[in-house]
Structure formats: C-alpha cells, structure tokens
Amino acid sequence: MAVILDGKKLRDKLLEKLQKKIDKFEVKPKLSVILVGENPASKIYVNNKQKIAQKIGINSEIIHFSQNISEKELLSKIEELNNDKAVNAILVQLPLPEHISKENVINSINPAKDVDGFTPYNYGKLFSGEKPNVYPCTPKGILLLLDEYNIEIAGKHVVVIGRSNIVGRPVAQMLLDRNATVTMCHSKTQNLAQITKTADIIISAVGKYIIKGEMLKSGCVIIDVGIFKDESGKTRGDVDFETSSKIASYISPVPGGVGPMTIASLMLNTVELFEKSL
C-alpha cells in the first residue's frame, strides 16, 4: 500500500511558519485577486485563497467583476493595482470569459507583482533556466510535496500528462532543471500505458479519469493534479486510487494532495514578492 502524500499536513506546516514570519512585519503583504464572472469552481478557489490569506495575516481583497466587463475596464483595474504601492501581489483567476484576451490581461500585470509567475517575463525566465521572481503555484507545490517526502528527482523518469500553461509545461521545466528525464504526454499521445509503465514519477494534470493501476510500474510515485466531480457528484482526480495505491510507493490523494499545496505556494509567493519589494 502506497504512502499518502499529505498535502494538507504540509500546507499547515508551511503556513504556520509563514504566519510567524508575517507577524514580524510591520506593514503586511497585500494580495489582490481579480475574479471575473460566476464560474462556481473559480469562486470556491478564490474564497479559499482569501480565507487562508486572512488567517495568516496577509491583507487580501477579492475584486469581483461581472461576466460582461470589457477588456479595457479590466486592464485599467490592473494598471491601478500595478501602481498601488500597498499591493504587492496580483492574481487574475483563470479562466476568463471568451471576449477577454487572456494574453493581454496576463501581459499587463507588473512582473514584480505577478504572483502566479505567468507573465512573459517570469515565464520566459523559467523556460530559459533562469530564476523568475516566483514559480507558478501548482508546480511549486508539487515540488515542495516531493521534497517533503525525500523523493528523488534527479535522473528519474518523470512522465507529465497534460501540457497546460498552469501545470504541465512549467512543472516539466522545473523537473528538468532538477535533472529529471521528462516525457510530456497529452491528449494525442499514442500508447499512453506503454509510457506510464516506464515512469518513476507520474504527474497527471488532465481533469479526466485516465490512470489505472495496470498502467503503472511497481513502486512509482503518483501526483494527481486532476480535480473534478464524477457523475455521482463525488470529487475525484485523474487517478484510480483503489488500484493505483496498490502498485505505487507514494500517491497524492484528491482532495487533500496537490490542491492545498497550490494555496500554500500562493501564500509563499505573496510573501516572496513582498520581501523583494522592500
């Protein structure tokens, strides 16, 4: 039976340490989160971020715009936050409505306040092997979780499934920088099981039920980034826990694995940007 990679426990440990650090600051870090529209999942994420930020002493505000806000209005709000000295971290919750260019919005964030690490400046630094101001939250959380359990990365074959800008691409790059041998798989990959069978570490970030025990090498490590509700309304990940946890040596659960680590990383990034701004 695999060891559970407990994201909640590590989140609590990291946040406790961070809170002690924030207690010592005279002026507190401030995170501004922009939410556009009524996407139920986004609303839950944003509220969770707000609750945790406030709990550990980060000033946090949610700026909620209606679905039909114009791109111009949104860009002008970001400009205002860029110029506001009290704000040191800006997050625009994705996805955005279709009439708004995600690219224009992300490009408009000051890279020094880009808490997701998604601006071309920070993303470009990451992909050229240089240090960005901060690393994207979910990939950073995944690496913190692997490190907490002393899971070796250098020289290991890591299979990343999913090529999103938020998870797949940046996590692959960060693992490459840690000397992993990385294979990227995606929706057009043929013979996925043949590839996963050779993986020492699997990172699945698809949002579909795709990984079963029979696709795994004995003793592998599984990071399940997927989170969605199945037909019966149960929250689940990409990985069939029942069969996979019998073959793997470590497995991250859903919920309680990567999700809490993403929020912990956001708080860490907010404080890192704050300290850089001093």
Token pair listed for 231 = 């037909």
Active site residue 28: no
Nearer to ligand GUN (CB atom), residue 2 or residue 145: 145
Active site residue 116: yes
Position of minimal CB gap to ligand GUN: 94
Nearer to ligand GUN (CB atom), residue 91 or residue 211: 91
Give first-to-last CA distance, the chain, whole Å: 47
**Are the C-beta atoms of residues 53 and 263 closer than 8 Å to each other?**
no
CB of 93 vs ligand GUN, minimal distance in Å: 5
CB of 164 vs ligand GUN, minimal distance in Å: 9
CB of 116 vs ligand GUN, minimal distance in Å: 5
Of 263, 255, 269, residue with least CA distance to 55: 263
Contacts with ligand GUN, residue ranges (CB under 6 A): 91-94, 116, 137-138, 166
Q: Give the list of residues 6+ apart from residue 154 with CB closer than 8 angstroms, or none.
A: 178, 179, 180
| Residue for token pair 């497995």 | 251
172-183 burial code (b ≥16 CB/10 A, e <16): bbbbeebebebb
Instruction: In whole angstroms, give the CA distance from residue 115 to residue 93.
Output: 11
CB of 107 vs ligand GUN, minimal distance in Å: 14
**Are the C-beta atoms of residues 187 and 140 closer than 8 Å to each other?**
no
Q: Which of 6, 77, 114, 116 is catalytic?
A: 116
Instruction: In whole angstroms, give the CA distance from residue 266 to residue 138.
Output: 9
Nearer to ligand GUN (CB atom), residue 35 or residue 195: 35
1: how many CB neighbours lie within 10 A of its CB? 8
Q: Which of 30, 77, 93, 238 is catalytic?
A: 93
Q: Which of 49, 113, 140, 156 is catalytic?
A: 49
| Residue for token pair 């139920």 | 40
Q: Give the list of residues 6+ apart from residue 67 with CB closer than 8 angstroms, or none.
A: 36, 37, 38, 97
Active site residue 49: yes
Nearer to ligand GUN (CB atom), residue 206 or residue 247: 206
Nearer to ligand GUN (CB atom), residue 60 or residue 244: 60
Nearer to ligand GUN (CB atom), residue 3 or residue 44: 44
Secondary structure of 135-146 as H, E, C letters: CCHHHHHHHHHH
CB of 221 vs ligand GUN, minimal distance in Å: 22
CB of 270 vs ligand GUN, minimal distance in Å: 13
Which residues does the annotation mark as catalytic?
A: 49, 93, 116
